[in-house]
Amino acid sequence: MSKSYRVVAWSTGNVGKHVIAGIDARPDLELVGVWVSNPDKVGKDAGELAGLGRTLGVAATNDVDAIFALKPDVVVHTAMADDRLFEALADMQRILRAGINVVSSGPVFLQYPYGVTDEKMYMPTVDAAVEGGVSIFVNGVDPGFANDALPLVLSGVSEQIDEVRVAEVLNYATYNQGMVLFDIMGFGRPMEDIPMILQPGVMTMAWGSVVRQLAAGLEVELDGDLVEWYERVPAPETFEVDAGTIEAGTAAALHFEVRGMKDGRAVIVLEHVTRLRDDLAPEWPQPAGQGCYRVTITGEPTYTVDMQLMGRDGDHNTGGLKATAMRLVNSVPAVVEGAPGLLTALDLPPVYGKGLVR
């Protein structure tokens, strides 16, 4: 019989609610606590907060000491970090120093911070984990599984590699997260506005970890800094998405790349093609199915693998959120049993969906 692990879900937002469902689905995980930031959610049952249509007998709390008193093996942390970076880091450091392992969806540079950001940005978290004698693993689907584990496994059947390209090709119209769409990505804003994601260095901070980790896994010595590139197109007329209104003439599609160069040419590329309507920028890469994560290894031979996503509700964005949640949840045993400190996809053994076949 496999070992059982005591788990706390930290936040119940777009990803966190799927984390709760995922913990409940695994026979080797026991949900013992739920932490929430919204006072209106305190006291509510985890099953209700996750939309499961049944109770799980675990009430949400915003009392950190009460969470620690549960003596969990691990916290699955999915609280938004993009707009509260230092607060999220402080929360995770506190959890780690308390001797509790952490798997988290962010901050995303912790997926593989080496050569991506200054040591002072990540070493306090690494030190907190070592001090607590526990591990931290930051991952998801992108940055995460679709552009670390998947391309590295595919590279194992290559003879020669000219370029590794990992891409997300998705329509975000049903992604109901206004802060990400409007404030970070700049959709629905004037084309002359340069949003947060397109400020110099931000794409590297967010996805440079993907390029650097693949380079490390493939033992490629890259030239200096990573190269950032993007293009955008405006909305031809006003239309609605789940998060709000996109006015005519404002940004409605974004295509960007973070390129790792060797001898002056791109050898490892992280690419995103993000539309709010399927008919925008038809000349840009098109998805397989309703949306996909694509790995293209050009070389001998050349491979293309499209990972299509679809939730049971018929929405590909639900599939993406669940992929992030389950990359974290299914990694719990490997992370808890891992060496203290920061773990990356290069450190983890293969993670399988053990016990999930119904």
The residue assigned the tokens 């920061």 is: 342
Q: What pLDDT score does 176 carry?
A: 87
Mean pLDDT, the chain, rounded, equals 95
Residue 60 lies in a domain: yes
Residue 87 lies in a domain: yes
Q: Per-residue confidence at 317, pLDDT binned at 50, 70, 90?
A: confident
In order of 187, 200, 292, the CA distances from 142 in angstroms are 19, 20, 11
127 and 149 both lie in a single domain: no
302 and 242 both lie in a single domain: yes
Q: What pLDDT score does 287 carry?
A: 95
Q: What is the number of structural domains in the chain? A: 2
Q: What pLDDT score does 270 carry?
A: 98
250 and 167 both lie in a single domain: yes
84 and 168 both lie in a single domain: no
153 and 299 both lie in a single domain: yes
| 17-56 exposure pattern, b = at least 16 Cβ within 10 A, e = fewer | bbbbbbbbebeebebbbbbbeeeebeebbbbbbbeeeeeb
Say whether 43 sits in a helix, a strand or coil: coil
CA 12 to chain centre: 16
Residue 173 lies in a domain: yes
Q: Are 67 and 61 in contact (CB under 8 A)?
A: yes
Query: pLDDT tens digits for 10-44?
Result: 999 889 999 999 999 999 999 999 999 999 999 99
Burial of 192 (0-12, 13-18, 19+ CB in 10 A): exposed
Taking phi over 0 as left and psi of -120 to 50 as alpha, with beta for the rest, 226 belongs to: beta
Q: What pLDDT score does 70 carry?
A: 98
Other beta carbons within 10 Å of 223: 13
Q: How would you classify the pairing of strands 60-61 and 29-35? A: parallel
Residue 256 lies in a domain: yes
Residue 324 lies in a domain: no
Q: What pLDDT score does 128 carry?
A: 98
C-alpha 82/C-alpha 247 separation (Å) is 25
**DSSP assignment, residue 179?**
I
Q: Are 262 and 222 in contact (CB under 8 A)?
A: yes
Query: Position 243: which residue type?
Result: A
Say whether 135 sits in a helix, a strand or coil: strand
Q: What pLDDT score does 110 carry?
A: 95
208 and 236 both lie in a single domain: yes
Query: pLDDT tens digits for 64-115?
Result: 999 999 999 999 999 987 778 899 999 999 999 999 999 999 999 999 999 9
Tokens of 112: 């593989």
209 and 336 both lie in a single domain: no
291 and 182 both lie in a single domain: yes
Residue 228 lies in a domain: yes
Q: Are 183 and 195 in contact (CB under 8 A)?
A: yes
Q: Does residue 56 have a pLDDT over 60?
A: yes
From the list 98, 108, 100, 82, the residue with the least C-alpha distance to 136 is 100
- Per-residue three-class SS string for 102-132: EEECCCHHHHCCCCCCCHHHHHHHHHHHHHH
| Structural domain boundaries enclosing 24 | 5-139+331-343
Find the range with the poorest average confidence among 28-32, 45-49, 201-205, 297-301: 201-205
Q: Does residue 1 have a pLDDT over 60?
A: no
287 and 153 both lie in a single domain: yes
Query: pLDDT tens digits for 99-158?
Result: 999 999 999 999 999 999 999 999 999 999 999 999 999 999 999 999 999 999 999 999
Q: Does residue 297 have a pLDDT over 80?
A: yes
Query: pLDDT tens digits for 237-291?
Result: 999 999 999 999 999 999 999 999 999 999 999 999 999 999 999 999 999 998 9
Q: What pLDDT score does 81 carry?
A: 78
Q: What pLDDT score does 329 carry?
A: 98
Query: pLDDT tens digits for 178-193?
Result: 989 999 999 999 999 9
In order of 36, 274, 277, 288, 310, the CA distances from 316 in angstroms are 26, 13, 14, 11, 4
Mean predicted confidence (pLDDT) in 166-182: 93
The CATH number covering residue 105 comes to 3.40.50.720
Residue 323 lies in a domain: no
Residue 243 lies in a domain: yes
58 and 81 both lie in a single domain: yes
Q: What pLDDT score does 358 carry?
A: 83
251 and 294 both lie in a single domain: yes
CA atoms within 13 A on the CB side of 101: 24
For 281-331, give the DSSP string. Answer: STTS---STT-EEEEEEEEES-EEEEEE---TTS-HHHHHHHHHHHHHHHT
Q: What pLDDT score does 316 carry?
A: 85
**DSSP assignment, residue 356?**
-
From the list 314, 174, 316, 315, the residue with the least C-alpha distance to 244 is 174
Other beta carbons within 10 Å of 348: 17
C-alpha 164/C-alpha 51 separation (Å) is 39
260 and 336 both lie in a single domain: no
